[in-house]
Structures are given as structure tokens and as C-alpha cells.
């Protein structure tokens, strides 16, 4: 078993996990830990005071339910069957379940442990603190594939409620440094497991309704889910760019402002024309009413003539310089602009970040890019969108960007 020797190991990692588990069991201050999607802010899901600590630290509205994280099917069995005396056994992650609706079986076989959250009925006599479910009759649960996350849950011996470990409304954290930036004065411990692999949150699916629905796009692609028996007709219950915005979101958290940096975010639809994007950015820069001084551009394509914001490509290239504090691949260059209504031209700075064109790379780096540009105090971040139809993670990326931007434009 993957954790059998955990108690005997005396590595710095096992000590840190034990310390984190101790805090989770006894204190009401949440602990941040890595998962394969984003960093989570964890609390013992069975203790109200502990779960309230999450809402306090994040300043998150309490009608937004939290996802429960388990280390094993056995732990989920105990949650779903509070009166059953299920023996504690050295479990694998594939133990047969008790009382999980059949429709979920193919998903669990394929995607657990991993970035998939399923909605289950909260049983009567449930051990879950009411704050976890925001008093809904259901709860969301997942088994993370991150070994560090599962070790922590196992060491705590409790299901952990954990939203993303960012301050409410900010982009989700994909490194321990992001968590530290947002929450260092509100929490005592961050387990640092390096950058999160996936970079966007888990996919949330509801198999309790007919047809089943995807409530939040995420780490598991829609087509992968649709390929599972019983899920062929799965519907999408979030804004994928085609829904009327007035439609009521089914997953409670989806109605909140989210993933937003301080800067205003302008999102361009996939396949917007390069020339149109450039013209739009240039116009914002020269309009003193808009007041864009420093700006950031997050690109998902190679632009034929670079950014072309300066007078010639040559001056542009020669003035490219790396930003010391920033992430790899981020460049800045001065843009001389003549503001309308202002007699003197002054130099502004554009930060140009090419996220790459692979969907996986874009998902992995997106939140970090938004955060890095925020650190540089830009006024506007222009983001080049990708197509929802690129499958897998693309819809998840666009879902996050639409929330960060509030609106999308086609040029």
C-alpha cells in the first residue's frame, strides 16, 4: 500500500505532513496543500468550527458549498454510510463502494483518483458539517491524484473540505507562493508540493439528475466524460459562451466574480484577427479616458509581426527585455503613444506574455500569468482566447477567462 510505511518514514516531508494533519485535527485555522489541479485550503469537513475557518480566511460567501476530498473509496463509504461499521482496512483507491449511484461507476473507474468532482446525496446522520454543503441536500466529493494531498488526508484521517487557496475572487493558486501572497497572514502552514500540474480546478459532474450534467468544466474533458456509459447525453450547465447569460447557474459558486486579477481583463474570442486586437489595444493605450498606462497581453498564438504596437518591428524587437521578477516567457517593451486630448506623448509599458498554444500548457500557466501581470501593476490585461471546441481543457480555460473578464469580444 502506498502509505504503509508512512509512520516509519522520518523524512522532512512526512514530518510536514504530520504537522499539517495535527493542525487540521485540532485547530480551526485551515492548512493549504497542493493538489494536481490547484492548491487547496483544507479543513476537517466534519467540524463546523474548522470549516468556518476556511470561509473566514478566504472571505468567501458562505452560500458557496465546498468540495470534500477523500483519500480512498473506503473513506467515502464511511461518509455515505454513517451507521455502517465499515472496518478500516489498508485500502487501495479502488475498493468497492457502498451507496454511490451506479451512474458514477464508469467515471470513478476511469478518472479517480483525479480532477473530477461528483455530486452525491448527503446521507441522513451525515458527519459533514453543514457549512460544507451550505445546507444543500447534496455534497461534492473528489479523490485527488496528488500523492501529497492523499497522504495528508490519510494522516489527518478525516475528509477535508477544500476550496482553492486564494483570496475570494482572485485567480486560483497554482504554486505555494501564490497561496502565500494571498493568505500568509491568515494561515499557519502551507505544504509546498511545487507547481500544480493541471492548473485549473476539477470538473464537477452531477449524475443525480436526468440527463446528467457538467456543472463546472475542469481537468477532465467533456468528451472524455461523454465517452463513458450513461454519460453519452451529458448536458453542460455552465456558460460555454452559447448560453444566455440570464440562465441561472446550477453550481452555486459559478455566479460569483472569480479568477479576477486587480487589472481589468479584456478577452478576445478565439480566432480574433491580429490586426483587430492590435488596433483595439493601441486605441485603449492612446485614449486618456480609459487611462490604460501599463498593460499586459496574454497571447495564445504567435502574431505574424510580433505585437506591432511600436512604430516598427525592429525597434520593438530591440527593446524587448525580460522582466526581472516575472515568469519565464514574459517580456516587456516601451510603447510610445500619443494620448488623445493630451499634447505630450509619454511612454507606456506593455508586458507581452506568450502562454504557448497547447491547451495543456495554457491551462497550466494561465492563473500564474494573470497573477504575474497583477504584480507588475498593469491596468488592463488583454487575453487572446482559445476555442471551446478544442476539447478537453479548452472549455475549462475559457470558462475561467469569461469569469475573469466579465465579457468577451470579437474583433
Which option in ligand TXA, Mg ion, none does residue 66 bind, with CB closer than 5 to 8 A by kind? ligand TXA
Which option in Mg ion, ligand TXA, none does residue 398 bind, with CB closer than 5 to 8 A by kind? none
Least distance (Å) between residue 38 CB and ligand TXA:
5
Sign of CA pseudo-dihedral 85, 91, 96, 101: positive
Q: Which residues contact 177 (CB under 8 A, 6 or more apart)?
A: none
Q: Is 113 in the site for ligand TXA (CB under 6 A)?
A: no
The residue (of 23 and 153) whose beta carbon lies closer to ligand TXA is 153
DSSP string computed for 279-310: HHHHHHHHBTTTT--SEEEEESS--BTB---S
Taking residues 48 to 77 in sequence order and writing x for each that binds ligand TXA by CB under 6 A, - otherwise, the string is ----------------xxxx----------
Cα distance from N-terminal residue to C-terminal residue, the chain: 55
Residues 186-245 close enough to bind ligand TXA by CB under 6 A: 201-202, 204, 215-216
Q: Is 35 in the site for ligand TXA (CB under 6 A)?
A: yes
The residue (of 285 and 362) whose beta carbon lies closer to ligand TXA is 362
The residue (of 179 and 310) whose beta carbon lies closer to ligand TXA is 179
Which option in Mg ion, ligand TXA, none does residue 117 bind, with CB closer than 5 to 8 A by kind? ligand TXA
At 335, is the secondary structure helix, strand, or coil? Answer: strand
Cβ–Cβ under 8 Å, residues 123 and 73: no
Q: Which residues contact 292 (CB under 8 A, 6 or more apart)?
A: 284, 285, 348, 379, 380
- Extract the C-alpha cell encoding 85: 461499521
For residue 17, what is the enclosing H or E element?
helix 12-26
The residue (of 164 and 399) whose beta carbon lies closer to Mg ion is 164
DSSP string computed for 112-159: -SSSEEEEEEPPTT--S-HHHHTT-SEEEEE--S-HHHHHHHHHHTS-
The residue (of 172 and 332) whose beta carbon lies closer to Mg ion is 172
Could you say which DSSP state residue 201 is in? P
- Extract the C-alpha cell encoding 114: 483525479
Cβ–Cβ under 8 Å, residues 158 and 222: no
Q: Which region, judged by CB under 6 A, interacts with ligand TXA, from 17-25, 32-40, 84-92, 397-405?
A: 32-40
Which of 73, 234, 237, 251 lies at the binding interface for ligand TXA (CB under 6 A)?
A: 251
Which option in Mg ion, ligand TXA, none does residue 196 bind, with CB closer than 5 to 8 A by kind? none
Instruction: Please report, as ranges, the residues that interact with Mg ion according to CB under 5 A.
Output: 163-164
The residue (of 258 and 299) whose beta carbon lies closer to Mg ion is 258
Q: Is 166 in the site for ligand TXA (CB under 6 A)?
A: no
Question: What residue ranges bind ligand TXA (CB under 6 A)?
Answer: 35, 37-38, 40, 64-67, 115, 117, 119, 133, 136, 138-140, 162-164, 201-202, 204, 215-216, 251-254
Amino acid at each position: 500500500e502506498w502509505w504503509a510505511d508512512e509512520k516509519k518514514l522520518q523524512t522532512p516531508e512526512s514530518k510536514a505532513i504530520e504537522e499539517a494533519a495535527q493542525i487540521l485535527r485540532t485547530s480551526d485555522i485551515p492548512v493549504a496543500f497542493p493538489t494536481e489541479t490547484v492548491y487547496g485550503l483544507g479543513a476537517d469537513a466534519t467540524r463546523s468550527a474548522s470549516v468556518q475557518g476556511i470561509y473566514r480566511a478566504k472571505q468567501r460567501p458562505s452560500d458557496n458549498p465546498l468540495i470534500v476530498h477523500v483519500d480512498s473509496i473506503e473513506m467515502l463509504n464511511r461518509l455515505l454510510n454513517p451507521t455502517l461499521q465499515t472496518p478500516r482496512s489498508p485500502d487501495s483507491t479502488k475498493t468497492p463502494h457502498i451507496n454511490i449511484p451506479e451512474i458514477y461507476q464508469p467515471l470513478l473507474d476511469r478518472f479517480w483518483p483525479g480532477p473530477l468532482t461528483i455530486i452525491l446525496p448527503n446521507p441522513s446522520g451525515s458527519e459533514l458539517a453543514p457549512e460544507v454543503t451550505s445546507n444543500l441536500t447534496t455534497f461534492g466529493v473528489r479523490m485527488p491524484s496528488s500523492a501529497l494531498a492523499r497522504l495528508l488526508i490519510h494522516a489527518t484521517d478525516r475528509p477535508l473540505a477544500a476550496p482553492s487557496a486564494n483570496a475570494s475572487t482572485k485567480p486560483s493558486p497554482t504554486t505555494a507562493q501564490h497561496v502565500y501572497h494571498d493568505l500568509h497572514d491568515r494561515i499557519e502552514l502551507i505544504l509546498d508540493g511545487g507547481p500544480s500540474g493541471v492548473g485549473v480546478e476539477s470538473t464537477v459532474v452531477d449524475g443525480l439528475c436526468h440527463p446528467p450534467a457538467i456543472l463546472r468544466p475542469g481537468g477532465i474533458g467533456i468528451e472524455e466524460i461523454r465517452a463513458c456509459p450513461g454519460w453519452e447525453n451529458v448536458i453542460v450547465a455552465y456558460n460555454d459562451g452559447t448560453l444566455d447569460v440570464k440562465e441561472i447557474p446550477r453550481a452555486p459558486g459559478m455566479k460569483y466574480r472569480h479568477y479576477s486579477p486587480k487589472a481589468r481583463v479584456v478577452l478576445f474570442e478565439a480566432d480574433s484577427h491580429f490586426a483587430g486586437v492590435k488596433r483595439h489595444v493601441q486605441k485603449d493605450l492612446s485614449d486618456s479616458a480609459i487611462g490604460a498606462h501599463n498593460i499586459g497581453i496574454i497571447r495564445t498564438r504567435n502574431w505574424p509581426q510580433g505585437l506591432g504596437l511600436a512604430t516598427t518591428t525592429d525597434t520593438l524587437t530591440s527593446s524587448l527585455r525580460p522582466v526581472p521578477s516575472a515568469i519565464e516567457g514574459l517580456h516587456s517593451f516601451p510603447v510610445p503613444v500619443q494620448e488623445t486630448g493630451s499634447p505630450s506623448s509619454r511612454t507606456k509599458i506593455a508586458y507581452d506574455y506568450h502562454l504557448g498554444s497547447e491547451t495543456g500548457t495554457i491551462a497550466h500557466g494561465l492563473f500564474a500569468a494573470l497573477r504575474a501581470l497583477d504584480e507588475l501593476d498593469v491596468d488592463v490585461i488583454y487575453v487572446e482566447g482559445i476555442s471551446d471546441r478544442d476539447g478537453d481543457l479548452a472549455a475549462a480555460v475559457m470558462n475561467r477567462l469569461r469569469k475573469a473578464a466579465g465579457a468577451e469580444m470579437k474583433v
